[in-house]
Structure 1
């Protein structure tokens, strides 16, 4: 499969919508305003548990937003990145629901339906759409590899993690990230020895090795994790025996060129199944719920370091530089618009490692550095995290 090239920050909406507060007061409908209207919608999902009811409620709220904002959504359908923006705007609908009440809950043998009456803010929706579309257009596009080690059996010392690269959780995450537009590296490129080396690094919690292996197949970010499912107690509901499983998933995002941990999240949930030996099924259920949350966390972390709205750290590697040359470079770099700080980390064997706090894009910074008259610099390599340059002797 070819590398899936897609704008990563079509995902940025996930973190932006999370920042929207939701006033979910359970009160009777107020007088509707032009931009805040009440609509009735129904969501349905499989299962009759409390979790199923919550999921049906979320689906009903999403449908309410789609119903109320339908004309605006339709008007945007021919705009560039429409589907990407649509997915991200609706990834967390509570940001647009000012208040709601559940008016009906229906349960059959294996399904739950929830009907809600919700007051939806179309103004907030349209404002967020514009903000997200701008973010999509401006953001960088890192290449991502996922590696999650799983355990469904336990020893006296704890979960027995495996190095298989096609586990239930990893497959679920890859599928979700792919659908949402993440630039996943070609799975054939990431397979074989390199991927096995990555899985071994994951099971041993060696972040430096994870970063090094990730860089070998030119990934900018490696998402690593450990997931386990353990059989808990048996419960009886009516005449039916059921089994509870405790599922834990830990995920981290590692920046490959610096081994910096961009985000770390833990998710734990109890899942009820009808059968014993259903650990894989329990992992699959929790993975489906965790995938959007993991993406939200990753996007938020990446946005903080690559946002065009504030200064971020760009690493420079400059060959042919000594300390005197660095001082001349710093004097010139400090004058570049958007540069907040220039800090030397080290100079070793005529290679300088420098951190620059910069407000604009890496490409813009590379252009400005190339314009410095003394010392004269040539850009050798550029990616979302760093720029490599060399001193040019004239």
Structure 2
């Protein structure tokens, strides 16, 4: 997928437009799209080339309206949310040239790209990107390797690969050691209860949990197959098959966002063509995990982005604790005050619990954690001032004091 690029000229155009004051309602771009002519179907090639040109026109406008860093590190998100419907931003277009060269159709057109809706959608994407930049993940994966003689050993191959991949993707990886005493990793376990997910979130300060199983099966060499052993019977190729079954949880509500599962067989994946099978089973497992790890990262990113997208428009789940309440009746009274103070942003307010002078309940709030903290800070309840004494990505702690 082609990456978006910004040029000096593009930035000069942006600077000129900003200096001029009011942004234009549309931007005109002249672009060329190409498409192969398959089975002599020139009409389809013209349509495909036209669509490619329209996408190129929108790409150019997008490229001068958001930062280079946003484009570089979040190109996939831009592709998914904006460029997948690029024709929706084109107000009108005129084809200025069309020609066939060497079995390829080339269509040049002049398109007017509307900026109002595009800017609105880009702002929504940038808000998601900002939220994605703060995400924290704990990886709790049970891995086992079954040897050719059916012995079972534990490993951390996929966990290591996933940690590297998610860190490269911009996630902050939390040390899972904090949660080891609260959750037991074992074969076949791919689900957590809401309470377990919340507790792990409290212990690790993670926003999401990737939890589940990975199994590798080391395959004994086939001595009759050419290339798997040499003339002296020494093993030359080290095949590994297996599978994974993982779930992604959001810790504030404890809810499961998605399940990610699949199998792998390095013969089918042609890992051997890269020459990675001739070292050891461990190296083969690493290469299989690396290839599959990229897929797992993409599959996990999708439900998280969907979750954040929903939170952006409909509100985020927040776990609120209030220290200094005298009894359960005070919890209910405080909730009524809270509902009044947060009327513009509050979408849902849970029943709540009370123990040891602390009230605890979940709410859905439309806005950032900073907005929520600002809305409640300094308010009073029965003569006690509300102070914000702790804020996380999806948690907030309040303390009542005279």
In the superposition, the TM-score normalised over structure 1's length comes to 0.61
Matches within 5 A, 1:96-111: none
Contact (CA 8 Å) 2:349, 2:363: kept in 1 or not?
A: yes
**Residues paired across the two proteins, number:** 312
Contact (CA 8 Å) 1:198, 1:213: kept in 2 or not?
A: no
CA gap of 1:209–1:282, structure 2 versus 1, over 3 A, is: same
CA gap of 1:285–1:326, structure 2 versus 1, over 3 A, is: closer
The answer to whether residue 74 in structure 2 is matched with residue 81 in structure 1 is no
Aligned to 1:247: 242
CA gap of 1:379–1:308, structure 2 versus 1, over 3 A, is: same
Give the deviation of 1:381 after TM superposition: 0.9
Structure 1 stretches of 5 or more lacking a match?
A: 1-25, 40-64, 99-114
Give the deviation of 1:310 after TM superposition: 0.5
Contact (CA 8 Å) 1:232, 1:246: kept in 2 or not?
A: yes
CA separation in 1, counterparts of 2:352 and 2:153?
A: 38
Contact (CA 8 Å) 1:32, 1:38: kept in 2 or not?
A: no
The answer to whether residue 401 in structure 2 is matched with residue 392 in structure 1 is yes
Aligned to 2:51: 36
- Counterpart selection for 1:360 from 363, 367, 378: 367
CA deviation map 1:222-254 (0-9, x unaligned): 32332123357999xx97779975431222234
- Counterpart selection for 2:126 from 126, 129, 133: 133
Contact (CA 8 Å) 2:321, 2:398: kept in 1 or not?
A: yes
Structure 2 stretches of 5 or more lacking a match?
A: 1-37, 88-102, 229-236
Aligned to 1:328: 333
Aligned to 1:171: 160
Aligned to 2:297: 291
CA gap of 1:32–1:224, structure 2 versus 1, over 3 A, is: same
Matches within 5 A, 1:201-240: 201-203=184-186, 205=189, 207=192, 212=199, 215-230=202-217
Contact (CA 8 Å) 1:344, 1:354: kept in 2 or not?
A: yes
Aligned to 1:381: 390
CA separation in 2, counterparts of 1:155 and 1:233?
A: 5
CA-atom RMSD, angstroms? 4.7
CA separation in 1, counterparts of 2:386 and 2:131?
A: 26
Give the deviation of 1:153 after TM superposition: 0.9
- Counterpart selection for 1:308 from 312, 320, 343: 312
Give the deviation of 1:359 after TM superposition: 1.8
Structure whose CA Rg is larger: 2
CA gap of 1:234–1:261, structure 2 versus 1, over 3 A, is: same
CA gap of 1:240–1:89, structure 2 versus 1, over 3 A, is: farther
Contact (CA 8 Å) 2:157, 2:285: kept in 1 or not?
A: no
CA separation in 2, counterparts of 1:83 and 1:34?
A: 26
CA separation in 1, counterparts of 2:351 and 2:180?
A: 33
Give the deviation of 1:309 after TM superposition: 0.9
CA gap of 1:353–1:211, structure 2 versus 1, over 3 A, is: closer
Give the deviation of 1:134 after TM superposition: 3.7
Aligned to 1:144: 137
CA gap of 1:130–1:94, structure 2 versus 1, over 3 A, is: closer
